[in-house]
Amino acid sequence: GAKQSIITNFFKIA
Amino acid sequence: MLELRLVQGSLLKKVLEAIKELVTDANFDCSATGFSLQAMDSSHVALVALLLRSEGFEHYRCDRNLSMGMNLGNVSKMLRCAGSDDIITIKADDGSDTVTFMFESPNQDKIADFEMKLMDIDSEHLGIPDAEYQAIVRMPSGEFARICKDLSSIGDTVIISVTKEGVKFSTAGDIGTANIVCRQNKTVDKPEEATVIEMQEPVSLTFALRYLNSFTKATPLSETVSISLSSDLPVVVEYKIADMGYVRYYLAPKIEE
């Protein structure tokens, strides 16, 4: 099945 | 010294209801630009970004940038004590470990102040890059809420697909499957009832319905919602707050292994 990704995979710490 | 006076206090009550299910503790940041918040849910799958611009307040004084850590459940408890027509003022002194919410009835015959303890919260501020989205769907917020609620009684995830035909919401579960297609519909009496699809190219992404349902707690803030989609990016679900700013939710997609 599909795996849940997390936000920090896409947006980096500013 | 911080002093923010919001005549339409009900907006702040609605904002708290819109975010408190997703986020437990958060820093409210106050600057010359406005009153803002950025926070992830505890599992780091979703992110909420709030902006209330300074121009939207009747009075806005923020001498220096201030970050105030609050438990959102506690803020909500305090704001529930404000009447729906009350004017709300948020006050804090520099270096203070408390914030005061003042509620004034519209005819000034009742004035209440509630002081709340602030907390230290370690939070990471994420940089959200500007993105060109492959598709942006604008639709009535109540319709989107209804779709998310209906589909979550069938399945746990939704596939949102945008083509030139329209936007399709699909789910599957133990009892069966469901597909809801919304076609572009600009020929309605009121603009807030329209469904408008701006598509650069077709896109299809899978999301957990639990989070989308949580986002729909913002429905009372806006008649319309916009859903921005691109492959390999979190979806952005935005509710504009009239003349003041927005609540934006970002949700990381489910990705095939």
pLDDT band per the 50, 70, 90 thresholds, residue B238: very high
For chains A and B, CB pairs below 8 A equal: 56
Q: Which residues of B touch A6 (CB under 8 A)?
A: 43-45, 252
pLDDT band per the 50, 70, 90 thresholds, residue A4: very high
The alpha-carbon radius of gyration of chain A (Å, integer) is: 10
Say how many CA atoms lie within 13 Å of B248 toward its Cβ: 16
Q: Is A7–B252 a contact, with Cβ atoms under 8 angstroms apart?
A: yes
* Ordered DSSP codes for chain B: -EEEEES-THHHHHHHHHHTTT-SEEEEEE-SSEEEEEEE-TTSSEEEEEEEEGGGSSEEEESS-EEEEEEHHHHHHHHTTS-TT-EEEEEE-TT-SEEEEEEE-TTSS-EEEEEEE------PPBP------SEEEEEEHHHHHHHHHHHHTT-SEEEEEEETTEEEEEEEETTEEEEEEE--B--SSSGGG-BEEEESS-EEEEEEHHHHHHHGGGGGG-SEEEEEE-TTS-EEEEEEETTTEEEEEEEPPEEE-
What 3-state class would DSSP assign to A1?
coil
- The more confidently predicted of residues B122 and B4 is B4
pLDDT band per the 50, 70, 90 thresholds, residue B243: confident
Q: Which of B157, B158, B198 is nearest to B181 (CA)?
A: B158
Rounded distance between C-alpha atoms, residue B90 and residue B4, angstroms: 5
- Per-residue confidence (pLDDT) for residue B253, from 0 to 100: 98
- Per-residue confidence (pLDDT) for residue B185, from 0 to 100: 92
Q: How many angstroms separate the CA of residue B94 from the nearest CA in chain A?
A: 25
- Per-residue confidence (pLDDT) for residue B188, from 0 to 100: 83
What is the per-residue pLDDT across B82-122, written as a single tens digit (0 to 9) for each?
999 999 999 999 889 999 999 999 999 999 999 999 999 98
- Per-residue confidence (pLDDT) for residue B149, from 0 to 100: 98
pLDDT band per the 50, 70, 90 thresholds, residue B123: confident
- Per-residue confidence (pLDDT) for residue B257, from 0 to 100: 79
What 3-state class would DSSP assign to A9?
helix
Query: Which residue reads 């609540």 in tokens?
Result: B247
CA nearest to A2 within chain B = B256
- Per-residue confidence (pLDDT) for residue B77, from 0 to 100: 96
**Which two tokens mark B196?**
């408008």
CB B139 within 8 A of CB B195: yes
pLDDT at B236 over 80: yes
**Which two tokens mark A10?**
């896409």
Rounded distance between C-alpha atoms, residue B251 and residue B234, angstroms: 5
- Per-residue confidence (pLDDT) for residue B94, from 0 to 100: 86
- Per-residue confidence (pLDDT) for residue B95, from 0 to 100: 85
Phi and psi dihedrals of B228, rounded to 5? -110, 125
What is the per-residue pLDDT across B216-230, written as a single tens digit (0 to 9) for each?
999 999 999 999 999
- Interval B52-65 mean pLDDT: 96
ipTM of the complex: 0.96
Phi and psi dihedrals of B202, rounded to 5? -60, 145
Amino acid B224 reads: T
Work out the mean pLDDT of chain B and round it to a whole number.
Answer: 96
The alpha-carbon radius of gyration of chain B (Å, integer) is: 20
Residues of B with CB under 8 A from a CB of A: 40, 43-47, 124-129, 157, 206, 208, 233-234, 250, 252-257
